Structure 1
């Protein structure tokens, strides 16, 4: 049977674009790609990239004060949100154009329309056009999830935060994950009065307990009000803002309420279930280790599969799919020891097992140091950093590394190489320190603080 395309990709985010480009440029495939929104997906348009630029912007608010401590005559004025937002939008336009250019240069045909799956080899566009394809790749990503409750229509999500006409003076962030915590820090750094509600006992669930406690304490010291064990009952619009009634009996008013309580896979309405493609309880597309669904011609990568919802993982999955199906190089994406960073202030970088998970697995030693870094100590700020290693007593391998510090994301990327290679504590010990740095603590931790 002759097909219109060798591969049709639904979704123009990081995973879909990588798969399409590699299949076309290196695999010689005829590739079509459909995207109903802007090319680049969550990461480029409404996620990692604009968020990180906002992280940078929010960090300047304390720089003038620090500069004064270092002898500079310096001061900083108010933050011009419209000016920053305009510059941000131009940058996102540039990145979207770059993504489109990359696909076109690889020979991929772009369809700016929503696509659904008609059968195992046919996709239909919202325009009414239909195309056949030997293989179909679902790469539709995820979206912010807001639970149903009275007044939920008054809440915004991370999708809207980048496009607000003006910043709120008082903001409530609901949620305790990395998105909620990051935006609490970002908006606080931009001059917004921020409160964060989380129904659990401590923010950043899933990360190392000591590390997330360290982050929470730092956020509180900076002036962010964190209220754990608290959830919203209802939101009511008032003349002066949004009234928030909470489970702890409190009644407070904010100018805006941002929900960051999780994300849901974008699998609804694609026609997958009717074809026999299995979906999980949360709507995630169930795939095997090759990213293949129950229907042999249909694959899925990225957040829509709800495996590890990180952009670099989606890119690895998309690349592995293209290498396997079109490159003659069977490849599986490696989901072990994936490093991650939370861009709070201070940042949290993590790779491998938490202390809690490791001690459930085997006997361990914990090496840790918390201290005031030289730069902020000289400026008179109380900031503290944390360096932590989890070590197997039996094999001596470093099972986990957790860093809470400025630029922890940059630091954990390098530490992750050693952990991924199976470095032992003694490998760390015999590495000469770079002095004076914060990260030298990772190679000078001589005695465990505890065993478990």
Structure 2
């Protein structure tokens, strides 16, 4: 059967763009449909603008330590300037994505696309029907908001990037990395910030020492962290504030309420169920290690698959798909070890197993930890500390996990991720000469275990 295209990609985010570009480079006839803007969540309303906001929020800390180094500052923050410069950069990146696709020979359609058959796609605005040998779903995810009274008064991370003005006070609801990052951003920009989380500790799934260190560091920066709290309703007060009523009956007023309570796959209205694509309970597309769904001609990469909601993972999955299907080079992605960072304040970098995971997987593990004040604070009275933690398997001392809290943690963990992925041992770390004076040198100068975990118990 002759098809209009070898590949139709639905979704112009990082994973979809990478797959489309590479497939076209290998000679495939590719159409990419994106109904919003090229770049997806990461570029348009995710990683990139968030990191720009993080940079902006951290100047406050620098101004506070500046006098100890002889600098006198008179700084004022202008929210509108940040928004305008952020929007300009996002538009520049979006243009680059478009140029890359165009140069690769990909046909781009700026409209919504629906799957109407195993090899058929309809472009909604134009009504055009196209056929494709393969269809790749790369539609990502979107914020998931709780179903509570007055939820329309709240915002998500999407709207947080476009606030007309900063509120005097904000409540960020959630305890994951998005909630923690935005709470740190708002606090750094001078907003009175409350973080409300339904659980007993923020950053579920992270190493316990990391969770405690971040909680302590955020509190030191003036963020009020309320745990075991369940918002039940929002209402607008006569003064224009938003009143949050919680399940325990408590009430508080804020200028804005942001919900960072998870994300869900963008699958609604795509026609996937009608053509028999198997979806998980959370709506994510079930795929095999080749990103292929149960319908052989339909594939999916990125957040929409529910495997790992991280941009680099989506890019790697998109590349592996193109290599496998259009370059005769079968390629899979190893999701077992994924370095990641949380751009909170303090910052987090982590790769590999947590202490809890390691203690469940092995009878005995060694834990090396170092806590110290970052050097930049030593001329001041700032109390914040850094944490570096190395987890090894007893016996051969294979490094199972590395966890860092403090300045530059994200940059450090990218490099630490290489030896961990390679299966390095503590001896490999030890024979590496330290770079002094740096915080990262602690990773190669840890001598004795801080403690052991034997049969699940700390000793």
Find the residue that maps to 2:261 and give its secondary structure.
coil
**Whole-angstrom distance in 1 between the partners of 2:181 and 2:199:** 17
Find the residue that maps to 2:279 and give its secondary structure.
coil
Superposed counterparts of 1:123-272, under 5 Å: 123-127=121-125, 128-240=127-239, 241-272=241-272
1:3 correspondence with 2:3: yes
CA deviation after TM superposition for structure 1 residue 91, in Å? 0.7
Contact 1:377 1:383 in 2 (8 A): no
Find the residue that maps to 2:299 and give its secondary structure.
strand
- Say which is worse superposed, 231-240 or 15-24, in terms of deviation: 231-240
CA deviation after TM superposition for structure 1 residue 380, in Å? 2.3
CA deviation after TM superposition for structure 1 residue 395, in Å? 2.7
1:311 maps to: 311
1:407-435 deviation per Cα after TM superposition (whole angstroms, max 9, x unaligned): 10000001111111111011111111111
Superposed counterparts of 1:278-427, under 5 Å: 278-362=278-362, 363-427=364-428
Contact 1:290 1:321 in 2 (8 A): yes
**Whole-angstrom distance in 1 between the partners of 2:238 and 2:391:** 52
1:228-256 deviation per Cα after TM superposition (whole angstroms, max 9, x unaligned): 11110111111220011112332100010
RMSD between aligned residues = 0.8
Contact 1:116 1:124 in 2 (8 A): yes
- Gap runs ≥5 in structure 2: 454-459
**Whole-angstrom distance in 1 between the partners of 2:70 and 2:89:** 34
2:456 maps to: none
Find the residue that maps to 2:378 and give its secondary structure.
helix
1:39-96 deviation per Cα after TM superposition (whole angstroms, max 9, x unaligned): 000000000000000000001112222111101222312x111111011111111110
**Could you tell me the TM-score, scaled by structure 1's length?**
0.99
Runs ≥4 residues deviating over 3 A: none
CA deviation after TM superposition for structure 1 residue 205, in Å? 0.4
CA deviation after TM superposition for structure 1 residue 147, in Å? 1.2
Find the residue that maps to 1:91 and give its secondary structure.
helix
Contact 2:374 2:407 in 1 (8 A): no
**Could you tell me the TM-score, scaled by structure 2's length?**
0.97
1:432 correspondence with 2:433: yes
Contact 2:7 2:133 in 1 (8 A): yes
1:450 maps to: 451
Find the residue that maps to 1:323 and give its secondary structure.
helix
**Whole-angstrom distance in 2 between the partners of 1:73 and 1:90:** 31
**Whole-angstrom distance in 2 between the partners of 1:374 and 1:255:** 37
1:88 maps to: 86
**Whole-angstrom distance in 1 between the partners of 2:248 and 2:365:** 39
Contact 1:70 1:379 in 2 (8 A): no
- Gap runs ≥5 in structure 1: none
**Whole-angstrom distance in 1 between the partners of 2:43 and 2:348:** 21
Find the residue that maps to 2:401 and give its secondary structure.
strand
**Whole-angstrom distance in 1 between the partners of 2:248 and 2:366:** 39
Contact 2:167 2:256 in 1 (8 A): yes
1:41 maps to: 40
